[in-house]
Amino acid sequence: MLKQLTVLIGCVFTLAAHADLKPDVLECDAKRATRNAAMQATVGVSGGCDMGKATDNARHDVRDNVNDHVDDAKGNLPDLEREHDRARGRDRD
């Protein structure tokens, strides 16, 4: 019984540690895709990251980055309009 409990606790700690590393390990970028392609060519085994997944991830990252900049610009728009009106000599306040 003690041996089974020890194994169960060890599994829980291992899974908890793996859960913390999972986003870093599963991140698919061009570097990992290239490494996996080289492993496939030399050893015959590769990981789950390929250039298609890396391209999709890069495309999503660029889209998110653009959306963030657009949202920031929309948030600053009232301030920019106020500055423009002051420069033209028209105050909205």
- Residue type for 79, please? D
Joined tokens for residue 41: 């060519």
> DSSP label at 48?
S
Interatomic CA distance for residues 1 and 11, integer angstroms: 15
Joined tokens for residue 42: 């030399």
Block mean pLDDT (10 aa), the chain, length 93 = 69 55 67 90 86 90 91 78 78 55
pTM above 0.75, yes or no: no
pLDDT value of residue 81? 75
pLDDT value of residue 24? 52
Interatomic CA distance for residues 40 and 28, integer angstroms: 16
Q: What are the Cα distances from residue 17, in Å, to 3, 32, 51?
A: 21, 22, 28
